[in-house]
Amino acid sequence: MSSSPDGHNGKLYIETVGCQMNVLDSELVVAALRKDGYELTDDPKAADTLLFNTCSVREHAEHKIYSSLGRLKYAKRTAPQKVIGVLGCMAQKDQDLIFERAPHVDIVVGTGQLAEIPRLIKETRSAEARQQQKAVSLGRRDGSVLEISSSFQSYDPLRDPEMRPTPFQAFVRIMIGCDKFCTYCVVPATRGPEQSRPPSHILSEVKVLADQGVKEICMLGQTVNSYKHTEDGRTHRLSDLMYAINEVPGIERIRFVTSYPKDMTDDLLHAVRDLPKAVKYLHAPLQHGCNDQLKLMKRGYTVEDYREMMHRIWETIPGCSVSSDFIVGFCGESEESHQLSIASIREFRFKNSFIFKYSERGGTKAASLMKDDIPEDVKKRRNNEMLAVQNEISEEDNAEFIGRRVSVLVEGQSKTAERKAARGEDASAPGDPLATQLMGRSECDRIVVFDGNPRLAGSTCEVEVHDCTGTTLIGSIVTKEVQHGSSGILPILS
């Protein structure tokens, strides 16, 4: 049964929750384990190695992982050779608590030690007696900045095309960690101090990805526009990276998430405006529309500062869309403050907003100094009210696109078509057995669906919009550009 020298069946199951950073980390872990002979399975029962890449931003995400782990208790008892690992933010935050709550877990590996996973799995498997292993970074008060920083290693080795969002899109980490210490947020503890990667490393990774057929690069950082690295006597910022990546043949689109509003400098806005490959979209979370709440959150800006930023964006990059994150029900949030958050959605007309109910996180300033005093039902109601207003705004703004043409990078089948196909139903488009519903994104990051041949995935199409919802533009294809291998772009009129 065993297909490998150290006695595993070669089947790896990995479950990932949380942000894009975790998606990328899982891609890199899988790539490293493939070198040790593993292949992926989506069936936890079939796997001998099960990894959970975790998120700690909200309590709900942690519950999900603890329930998944709970379901494995019996499996581990009957098949003790299975290695179960908990990786990422929750591993860094909870550490030994994970072994206490789920004693059948074998390894706990923080965000800064992912490179050690292949070795830890091997050692766990070959140990004579069962031995739990832990690899985590220092806490934010456990040493000098240099010591803490170097205990969080940036992990960007091999890539794994199968684990990407699509074969044409790849995340590239440009920095790790965060030094902003918003009072509600656990990230500075779980991801460590802010550290920017050298531009030369980033650029060579982008070139490798372009050679593998990647067309869209999404640069990742917790505060991606705070990127700063000195190399060869010169300080490089995010705008410099954008100019450099714009020159890489094969790359067609460049984007970045998530921006910190205070660091939205003009050089970056000019790069987004001037570079043909730059996606005209910024994710710049406001978090709250009331200055008192922003102060309690220690966001470092006021609504007025944010307004100034929005005016600069609108003036510099006409048509640029902006999305936000909001927290509802943060400590002491009054009905009036909540109304100010709602008003901010109307004023800034976000393309979309990710709205979260405040979840108290151990170890944060808010948890130790403030009272989580908004009842759950009030948080829920406020969340729904925010969502309703955001949907109304999104639908109004999407309707502006009706009758216009947008350029779409096709990602593949739409969710609806995928679901139909998964249920074994006919997913072909009405009247065209070769077509199905496709989805992609416009240059301002709007989701667009239209009927077309699935072979268009990875190509850029002109789509005329004739309908919309709050989340989606619905259209039909006008022209398409299909890239054949690396031989260039063939424009085809339909």
Considering CB under 6 A, how many residues would be counted as binding ligand 5AD? 12
CB of 411 to ligand 5AD, least distance (A): 23
- From the list ligand SF4, ligand 5AD, none, pick the one residue 327 interacts with, judged by a Cβ distance below 5 to 8 Å according to partner type: ligand 5AD
Local structure of residue 195 (DSSP, 8 states): E
Q: Does 58 bind ligand 5AD (CB under 6 A)?
A: yes
Task: Kindly determine how many residues on this chain lie close enough to bind ligand SF4 according to the rule CB under 6 A.
Answer: 10
Q: Is residue 359 close enough to count as binding ligand 5AD by CB under 6 A?
A: yes
**Are 262 and 305 in contact, with CB atoms under 8 Å apart?**
yes
Residue 493, phi then psi, degrees to nearest 5: -90, 135
The span from the CA of 41 to the CA of 39, in Å, is: 7
Q: Which stretch binds ligand SF4 (CB under 6 A): 21-29, 73-81, 179-187, 434-442?
A: 179-187
Find the binder of ligand 5AD among 179, 308, 325, 418 (CB under 6 A). Answer: 325
CA distance 455 to 461: 12
- Residue 39 has φ and ψ, to the nearest 5°, of -130, 155
Q: Of the two residues 262 and 405, which places its CB atom closer to ligand SF4 in the complex? A: 262
191 contributes a contact to ligand 5AD by CB under 6 A: no
Return the residues of window 245-304 that contact ligand 5AD according to CB under 6 A: 285, 287
How far is CA 85 from each of CA 28, 112, 402, rounded to the nearest angstrom? 15, 15, 49
Closest residue by Cα to residue 215 from 6, 491, 483, 461: 483
The pattern of x and - marking residues 245 through 274 that bind ligand SF4 according to CB under 6 A reads: ---------------x--------------
358: partner contacted, choices ligand 5AD, ligand SF4, none (Cβ within 5-8 A by kind)? ligand 5AD
Q: Candidates 361, 379, 382, 446: give the one binding ligand 5AD (CB under 6 A).
A: 361
Closest CA to 26 of 162, 188, 132: 162
222 binds ligand SF4 (CB under 6 A): yes
Closer residue to ligand 5AD (CB): 184 or 450: 184
- Which of 181, 243, 314, 354 is in the footprint of ligand SF4 by CB under 6 A? 181
Distance CA 84, CA 47 (A): 10
Q: How far is the CB of 59 from ligand 5AD (least distance, A)?
A: 8
Task: Using CB under 6 A, pick the residue from 356, 383, 475, 480 that binds ligand 5AD.
Answer: 356
Q: Are 273 and 443 contacting, i.e. CB atoms less than 8 angstroms apart? A: no
Q: Hey, what long-range contacts does 240-246 have (CB within 8 A, 24 or more apart)?
A: 240/199, 241/174, 241/199, 241/202, 241/203, 242/268, 242/271, 242/272, 242/275, 242/278, 243/271, 243/275, 244/199, 244/203, 245/203, 245/206, 245/217, 245/277, 246/275, 246/276, 246/277, 246/278
Asked whether position 358 contacts ligand 5AD by CB under 6 A, the answer is yes
Q: Which residues bind ligand SF4 (CB under 6 A)?
A: 178, 180-182, 185, 187-188, 222-223, 260
